[in-house]
Chain A
Amino acid sequence: MRMIIHDLEQSDFQRLFSRPLNHTMVISPDATIRHCLGCFGCWIKTPGACVIRDGFGNMGEHLSKCSEVLVISQCCYGGFSPFVKNIFDRSISYVHPNFRNRNGEMHHKRRYKNTANLRVFFYGETITEGEETIARGLVAANALNLGWHAAEVSFSYDIAELEGRVG
């Protein structure tokens, strides 16, 4: 399965994805999402699922079925927009609370065995070179933590530039 996580207006999303999407789950900012409370309930109360049941409580399970995760996000200070970041924050049930060493650093043990290609498309009119450096480092760190492959990171001035590139 492919997952698309984005923060676009519906009209912009439809412009980028005009054809029917098969085997694809789309996570859009059209529903109310609550923020992670840092309670670790997704590890120690209901392992594998967030205790907040607002429609975004099963992100870890959904990610376990993905072979590709495509992210389209406004670039905020070199990272994701608040909505997209919230999706990642609410997804930590995807990993196990215990630790493993990877690349000489402590990271979380994997709960699931799937590996996904992480493709990230940042957009924004004021992205600086420094923010591009941060964003590339962030996506590499995300991929390392989640046990994925950082397949693509790109930057666009506006959403129209993404047409034909994100399919």
Chain B
Amino acid sequence: MKIALINGSPKTSGSASGCILQNLRSLLDEEGSVIGEYHLKRPGVSAEEVAALGQSDALVFAFPLYVDGIPSHLLHSLVQLEQSLVKEKQETMVYALANCGFYEGHQNRWALAMMESWCSKAGLMWGQGIGIGAGGMLPAIQSVPLGYGPKKNFGKALQQLAANIANCSADENLFVTANFPKLVYKLAAEAGWVRSAKANGLRWRDLSLRR
């Protein structure tokens, strides 16, 4: 079975989407599948990427939530892929993991619904979507084992997804967040913005600048 793991983050490195796929890959490797990794960080897909994705049995997208939806560069690539994949009429399964900086995983629901709609237009089969809240934490807790501490629920969802991918089966979308108090997450995130601003030579109140 050929599985394509597709990172839809525009970031070259250090993205939450990359962490998610790395965690998922550790579960899929146990199943003995052939796994290809792709990074759609710019608008457009190369002919080689289109050919490789068209030959996959399962496409697994991981991407950040941008303004309640799919990032525009990935959307651009999906439009291109739709036009290519719809001609091939293969029984490819599609899975998607959307992560957002907000605490609630369900805020990814419209982006996942759009991915399902893309599947339908491209003639592919929708497998399952996972909406992940507090996604900004994932790179910072990369060393925490999957299924433990703040990654407990995230780990359970990934295990279910990995089993569905291995069986080429479909399932209900899942929405998870960190096993971590919402207020503490908020305070930690906001302290992080202040630290980043100071590292750039700004004062904390500069974060509120109006132009």
Query: Which residues of A approach B to under 8 Å, CB–CB?
Result: 35-40, 43-45, 47-49, 58, 60-61, 64, 76-80, 82-83, 85-86, 88-89, 91-92, 96-99, 105-107, 111-112, 126, 128, 130-131, 134, 137-138, 141-142, 145
Complex CA–CA separation, A49 to B210 (angstroms): 9
How far is it, in angstroms, between the C-alpha of A35 and the C-alpha of B41 when the chains are bound?
10
Given known A77-B117, A130-B117, A131-B117, contact A138–B110 (CB-CB < 8 A)? yes
Q: Does B168 contact A (CB under 8 A)?
A: no
Q: CA–CA, A39 to B121, complex, Å?
A: 32
- Cβ contact within 8 Å between A107 and B114: no
A82 to B69, CA, bound (A): 11
Stretch from B51-59, B156-164, B199-207 at the A interface? B199-207
Query: Which B residues form the contact surface with A (CB < 8 A)?
Result: 9-11, 15, 42-43, 64, 66-73, 75-76, 78-79, 102-104, 107, 109-110, 113-115, 117-118, 120-121, 182, 186, 189-190, 193, 196-197, 200, 202, 206-211
**CA gap between A35 and B40 in the complex, in Å:** 12
Chain B residues with CB below 8 A from A58, complex form: 211
Given the known interface contacts A89-B66, A106-B182, the answer about A47 and B197 at a Cβ–Cβ threshold of 8 Å is yes
| Chain A positions within 8 Å of B103 at CB level | 106
Determine if A60 and B43 form an interchain contact, defined as CB atoms under 8 angstroms apart: no
Contact A35 B207 (CB under 8 A): no
The answer to whether B104 and A105 have CB atoms under 8 Å apart is yes
Q: Could you list 9 further interchain pairs (A-B, Cβ under 8 angstroms) beyond the known A38-B9, A38-B11? A: A36-B73, A44-B197, A44-B207, A82-B43, A82-B76, A98-B190, A105-B104, A106-B186, A131-B117
A49: B residues at CB distance < 8 A = 211
Shortest beta-carbon distance from A104 to chain B in Å? 9
- Helix, strand, loop or mixed for chain B's interface? helix
Expressed in whole angstroms, the minimum distance between the Cβ of A52 and any Cβ of chain B is 11
Whether the Cβ atoms of A36 and B72 lie closer than 8 Å is yes
Least CB distance from A95 to B in Å reads 10
